[in-house]
Amino acid sequence: MGVRYHNYDAVIVGSGGAGLSAALEAGTRCKTAVVSKLYPTRSHTGAAQGGMCAALANVEDDSWEWHAFDTVKGSDFLADQDAVDIMCKEAVDSVLALERWGLPFNRTPEGRIDQRRFGGHTRNHGEAPVKRACYAADRTGHMILQTLFQQCNKAGVEFYNEFFVLDLLLIDGACAGIIAYELATGELHVFRSKTVLFATGGYGKIFKITSNAHTLTGDGPGVIYGKGLPLEDMEFFQFHPTGLYGLGILLSEAARGEGAILRNSDGERFMERYAPTIKDLAPRDMVSRAEFFEIREGRGAGPKKDYILLDLTEVGEEVIEKKLPDITEFARTYLGVDPVKEPVPIVPTAHYAMGGIPTNVQAEVRSDNKDGIVQGLYAAGECACVSVHGANRLGTNSLLDIVVFGRRGGMSMGEFASTHDMPDVPDDIHEATEKKLADLFEGGGPEYSAAIREKLQVEMMDKASVVRTDESLGEMQRILEGLRDRYKECRVRDRNKIFNTELVEHLELGFMLDMAEALVISAKARTESRGGHYREDHTMREDDHWLKHSFISKTADGDTRLAYRDVVMGRYEPVERKY
Amino acid sequence: MQKVTMRVQRFNPEKETEPHFESYDVEAEPMDRVLDLLHKVKWYQDPSLALRRSCAHGICGSDAMLINGVNGLACKVLVKDLKQPITVEPIRGLPLIRDLIVDMEPFFAGYKAVMPWLIPDESRMEPERERLQSPEERERFDDTTKCILCAACTTSCPIFWADEEYVGPAAIVNAHRFIFDSRDGGGRERLEILSQKDGAFKCRTVFNCTDACPRGIKVTKAIQEVKRAALYNTT
């Protein structure tokens, strides 16, 4: 197997919004490369629809402090309030920077960036919904990704596209680069680098019904976890309330922002019972749970009574076609349902990982639940946990997170690279990786990795999704052990070097099993309900015991270890979360 | 469930010199996407089948393919709309690498040649907040902002098949997106590039690109608007 070497000051793994934001900042400060398993424009940032919140107050009175309050309350008080303040303050500049780079935001009649309502975003600490989400039709993420890609091309950022990350190089506990696998050739590449930033996105593919791309398999957090480093708040996974029935494809919350209503089989607007003030625009965790209970109590719609209806028929054809064109097309194409004329069948869909690689507000990766950091290592975006989303992320705050903390990460890398030397990397550092790959091509058995993956997705959906119990999670833990044993026996049948996508899928499955394990064990330990983590056997939030972040890591003997870290509090004391 | 036969073009550059077709029978529902069927083949019959895909709902642009002779995204074309057997081939006009995977570098080179990034209009002051743009000005280039760079248009263009130097429809669409943006000042420069021999005037208005676009962009119209802007100095 051939090995090639590269030297950089900054290597960014992943080319979505966080990776490209980091690249733009690092690229002006030091020698930077972006290493990504996809072409940048294929990244899942492009699938984000509804908007990016910032208190511009272009349409209605607003302040970053109200935005911060909503974010903290939405997080069920688990977000670190210092980080939330930074994000909500820098939101305004981030939106304006995107506009200066050419992002085609929708406009008000006066020519300013238009804003609309979004779930959980309110005026003056919960009084009423506020228009805070800046948007470009229902393809805001697409426009952010395109705009950042355009700016990277303009700046001449170096890309290594279709390179799959296999390992993180740590020397004496400090980051020294990565090893990646080039899909086009099957060669290994050692990227020696002073700094590395992971921006690999989420891992929704561990669930059967998900809005996530096939490629969202937790590669970055998987590599980190494999190194014995901790992952934070893994039990918190967001289920978005409006995924297309059977498919999980997302229908933006912007639909409800524009006036769509959720109904059960009786035609009842059931959210009035669950969130009397802001109803259908309650945060996602609450709406998904409401849907789950409506269906379980026999009020689901359809022949199997297993879905909810998203009713846009009163929104009006013009608004639907102009402001929600993409999601309208999804419903027409994939379900044959025309939202202008009839309600759309929807279900909760696995959407967003609040947890991930723990970082501080400079995007430096934490090495423990105290204040240790891994020198030279950074993370940003969905794969990271700052934590600005706590136990439940508000809609639009992910696009904000990737831009704000992506940029911060890129700046931190530049600063670090200017004061540190290139780490020494032994010539044989790739040998373990090389052997691991060679073993996968050796021999064979009856196992198909696809069968293991499918079982994982079905069982995770059943036992560790919207509603969990000690029993369901314990059962899932046992299933995972069985899947791991099967995975070990699995070999890659395709023995070719050029575009061996079976190998990539096999390695991705390994990361997915890690993500599922970290999620299930963290969730089983947390005997309370908070945000996206709902325990039917512990339905209350328990601030006395559980107002803290979980840190899970693998021990040397393959076991797992849980530790905790206090939440950074600020202006807002935990109160009961009502909407 | 019904049995569907697929004919998929295969090519293994490590073992073959020419591509060939393989047939696969899979169980499918009418609402299944072609991508679902390709996954059934890859995951349970022949894992060596190589293809690109990611989002699986027509947004990322990874899986443009020639499906029953027509360019489309495998995740947006449904079984119910196809005659059987379903024939799947790689998009044309780009170098074949393996199975359904082609070399995208020439495509992105064409894209980058038109400077697809905002070149701020220097005559306007840098604003303290956002630049103002009326809803009408914003609407002027709305259609071409939808492009996902999947290459379905460019690789359906017979001019591009015959002449790989032609920048192709996708590049012109992305130039259009900036030429008609009221905030951009780089229009003349781009129009000069597109007035050269490998630029917009190679288009013979075949409309294949418009038919192929999975985002419904009026590609041919955009190309003609660029040509007119180049000829009459209007943007």
A214 touches chain B (CB under 8 A): yes
3-class DSSP state of A48:
coil
Note whether A58 and A114 are within 8 A (CB). yes
| Whole-number Cα distances in Å, A180 to A98, A219, A433 | 31, 12, 10
Query: What contacts 24+ positions apart, CB below 8 Å, involve B89-93?
Result: B89/B8, B89/B9, B89/B65, B90/B9, B90/B65, B90/B66, B91/B64, B91/B65, B91/B66, B91/B151, B91/B152, B91/B155, B91/B156, B92/B66, B92/B155, B92/B156, B92/B161, B93/B154, B93/B155, B93/B157, B93/B160, B93/B161, B93/B164
Tokens linked to B75? 């995740």
User: Which residue has 């791991």 as its token pair?
Assistant: A484
A22 is written with which tokens?
A: 């980091």
**A273 in B contact zone (CB under 8 Å):** no
- H/E element, A215: none
Kindly identify which residue of chain B lies nearest to residue A114, measuring between CA atoms.
Answer: B135
B235 has pLDDT over 80: no
Whether the per-residue pLDDT at B124 is higher than 80: the answer is: no
What pLDDT does A570 receive? 97
A257-287 residue pLDDT tens: 899 999 999 999 999 999 999 999 999 999 9
Q: Does any CB of chain B come closer than 8 Å to the CB of residue A154?
A: yes
The answer to whether A130 and A123 have CB atoms below 8 angstroms apart is: yes
Q: Please give the average per-residue pLDDT across A168-197, as a whole number.
A: 98
Is residue A352 over pLDDT 80?
yes
Mean pLDDT for A568-577 is: 95
- Please answer yes or no on whether A46 and B47 come within 8 Å at the CB atom: no
* Residue from A212, A198, A221, A225 nearest A34 by CA: A198
Closest partner CB to B50 (pick from A38, A151, A501): A501
Average pLDDT, chain B: 96
Domain ranges across chain B: 2-102, 105-232
Percentage of residues of chain B with pLDDT beyond 70: 99
A136 in B contact zone (CB under 8 Å): yes
Q: Which residue from B minimizes the CA distance to A108?
A: B135
Q: What is the DSSP string of B90-156?
A: PPSSS-EEETTEE--HHHHHHHHHT--S--B-TTSPPPSSPPP--HHHHHHTTGGGG-----TTGGG
Pick the residue with more confidence: A349 or A577?
Answer: A349
Q: Is A349 on the interface with B (CB under 8 A)?
A: no
pLDDT in tens, A132-156: 999 999 999 999 999 999 999 999 9
Q: Does residue B172 have a pLDDT over 80?
A: yes
Map tokens 């409006």 to a residue: A242
CA separation for the pair A559, A561 (Å, rounded): 7
**C-alpha to C-alpha distance for A407 and A523, rounded to whole angstroms:** 31
From A251, A255, A240, select the one nearest A288 (Cα to Cα): A240
Contacts for A63 with CB less than 8 Å, ≥ 6 apart: A55, A57
- Find the CB nearest B138 among A107, A451, A493: A107
- Closest CA of chain B from A352, distance in Å: 15
Check CB contact of A358 with chain B, cutoff 8 Å: no
CA angle B103, B105, B111 (to 5 degrees): 135
Both structure tokens of A224: 């980190």
How far apart, in whole angstroms, are the C-alpha atoms of residue B133 and residue B143?
Answer: 16
pLDDT digits (tens, 9 = 90+) for A438-454: 999 998 888 889 999 99
pLDDT of amino acid A354? 98
Interface contact flag, B117 A153, Cβ < 8 Å: yes
For the domain made up of B105-232, the CATH class stated in words is mainly alpha
Contact B148 A142 (CB under 8 A): yes
Q: Which residues in chain B touch residue A96, judged by CB atoms under 8 angstroms apart?
A: 129-130
The CATH architecture of the domain made up of B2-102 is Roll (3.10)
Backbone angles phi, psi at A58, to 5 degrees: -75, -25
Q: Is the pLDDT of residue A567 over 70?
A: yes
Return the pLDDT at B1: 86
* Domains of chain A as residue ranges with CATH: 50-138 (no CATH), 240-347 (3.90.700.10), 431-540 (1.20.58.100)
Q: Which of B117, B188, B151 is nearest to A156 (CA)?
A: B117
Catalytic residues of A: 284
Residue type, A390: G
For residue B139, give the chain A residue with the closest CA.
A106
Rounded Cα distance, A121 and A63, in Å: 11
Express each pLDDT in B178-203 by its tens digit. 999 999 999 999 999 999 999 999 99
Mean pLDDT score of chain A: 96
pLDDT digits (tens, 9 = 90+) for A497-546: 999 999 999 999 999 999 999 999 999 999 999 999 999 999 999 999 99
Cα B209 to Cα A568: distance, rounded to the nearest angstrom = 54
Residue with tokens 């943007």: B235
How far is residue A459 CA from its own chain's centroid?
21
Pairing assessment for the beta strands A174-182 and A188-198 based on DSSP bridges: antiparallel
Distance CA A40, CA A49 (A): 18
Q: What is the pLDDT of residue A579?
A: 87
Tokens standing for residue A144: 């952010």
- How large is the average pLDDT for residues A556-565? 95
> Locate tokens 């704000």: which residue?
A404
Nearest Cα residue in chain B from A156: B112
Fold: same for B2-102 and B105-232 = no
Q: Which residue has the higher pLDDT, B6 or A252?
A: B6
**CA dihedral in degrees (A217, A223, A226, A228; nearest 10)?**
-130
